[in-house]
Amino acid sequence: MRILSGVQPSGKLHLGNYCGAMKQHIEDQETHECFIFIANYHALTTIQDAEHLRHLTRDVALDYLALGLDPKKACLFRQSDVPEVTELAWILSTVTGKGLMDRAVSYKDKVARGLPASMGLFSYPILQAADILIYRSDAVPVGQDQSQHIEMTADMAGYFNNTYECEVFVIPKVKLNEAAVVPGLDGAKMSKSYGNTIDLFDAPKPVRKRIMSVKTDSTPVEDPKDPDSCNVFALLRLLAEPSERDAWAERYRQGGMGYGEVKKRLAELFEERFGPARERREALEKDLDYVEDVLATSGRRAREVACGVMVDVREACGIVKAAG
């Protein structure tokens, strides 16, 4: 089975990105063929400063490698190293009805939050579909907020196959993690655009400060509390072993426990999990040639697969070839 996913280089990666998407990508490398890419064409919809985009792109590569993505097992590349995806996005746009695009909620959300309503932002899901279909991906591990885009991708694959009476594209499936939506400090979905994140590679002190500011209710220390409606517990359960998670749930229900205590433990668990990755990242930052080499080598591999599929795409829709 071929797995593919992408992350936009549009800001610092946070716990929601990790638990909702990246953790799966890193686990999947052990059992599946994995293609993970840095969606820098997509990021142009929000980052319009060349130097900044170059830096953010490299940062996502550093983050993945530090978190344990092994370039010998998974293919980690830049979207733009396979420029054929933009060609496929155009071809897909010719078989996709505008009605489908009008139903995309992520576009409406982004415009409502003040992003410029560019054509790139509007047709973002078509480029995303091209990313997925050009590698004949079987499954796409993402957080819940992306599942509509994967359903739209399956629709677009079907439109093309039906229009040209062919089987060029594999119909992909979404693959959700158990942490489909990770809450942020305020209880809303953790997202860079809401300013409610806990960033993966921040130093321990600011991380602790952020964790201490997670919103809780005002139940007095001595009273019993409900773990299932608590933001701190929702985060702790992502990082603690099941036995520890159950013990904390029990302590919530018993009462006599303050939120400060559980926040402190959450900060420790965060450091245990991400401290070593932070150190690996610092070492990798001193070896940027290695990082560039990984991206370039993987990019060539990905491009070879994509170019093979594009031969079938062009043939199916009559962009020259055939004859004779």
Residue 237 touches ligand ADP, criterion: CB under 6 A: no
Of 72-80, 84-92, 189-197, 203-211, the segment contacting ligand ADP by CB under 6 A is 189-197
**Of 177 and 298, CB closest to ligand ADP:** 177
d(CA 40, CA 292): 15
Residue 81 touches ligand TRP, criterion: CB under 6 A: no
Out of 19, 39, 133, 249, the residue judged to bind ligand TRP by CB under 6 A: 39
Q: If DSSP codes are grouped into helix, strand and coil, which group holds residue 106? A: helix
Of 128-136, 184-192, 195-203, 279-287, the segment contacting ligand TRP by CB under 6 A is 128-136
Total residues interacting with ligand TRP, rule: CB under 6 A = 13
Cβ atoms of 294 and 71 within 8 Å: the answer is yes
Torsion of CA 299, 83, 121, 124, to 10 degrees: -70
Residue nearest to ligand ADP according to CB distances in the complex: 20
Q: Supply the minimum distance, in Å, between the C-beta of residue 159 and ligand TRP.
A: 18
Structure tokens, 244: 């520890």
Out of 59, 81, 131, 202, the residue judged to bind ligand TRP by CB under 6 A: 131
**Of 61 and 214, CB closest to ligand TRP:** 61
d(CA 300, CA 100): 33
Contacted entry of ligand TRP, ligand ADP, none for residue 140, CB cut-off 5 to 8 Å set by kind: ligand TRP
Question: Would you give the end-to-end CA distance of the chain in angstroms?
Answer: 36
Q: If DSSP codes are grouped into helix, strand and coil, which group holds residue 75? A: strand
Out of 66, 71, 74, 143, the residue judged to bind ligand ADP by CB under 6 A: 143
Of 4-12, 190-198, 215-223, 275-283, the segment contacting ligand TRP by CB under 6 A is 4-12
Contacted entry of ligand ADP, ligand TRP, none for residue 42, CB cut-off 5 to 8 Å set by kind: ligand TRP
Residue 38 φ then ψ, to 5° = -100, 115
| Residue 81 DSSP code | G
Cβ atoms of 271 and 200 within 8 Å: the answer is no
Structure tokens, 299: 């990019």
Q: Which of the residues 57 through 116 are near ligand ADP (CB under 6 A)?
A: none
Q: Supply the minimum distance, in Å, between the C-beta of residue 224 and ligand ADP.
A: 28
Q: Which residues contact 57 (CB under 8 A, 6 or more apart)?
A: 9, 38, 40, 43, 78
Q: Supply the minimum distance, in Å, between the C-beta of residue 8 and ligand TRP.
A: 5
Structure tokens, 322: 């055939």
Structure tokens, 118: 């560019």
Total residues interacting with ligand ADP, rule: CB under 6 A = 19
Q: If DSSP codes are grouped into helix, strand and coil, which group holds residue 149? A: helix
Q: Which one, of 16, 49, 197, 193, lies nearest residue 112 by Cα?
A: 193
Q: Given the rule CB under 6 A, which residues bind ligand ADP?
A: 7-8, 10, 16-17, 20-21, 142-143, 145-146, 179, 181-182, 189-193
Q: Given the rule CB under 6 A, which residues bind ligand TRP?
A: 4-8, 39, 42, 128, 131-132, 140, 142, 146
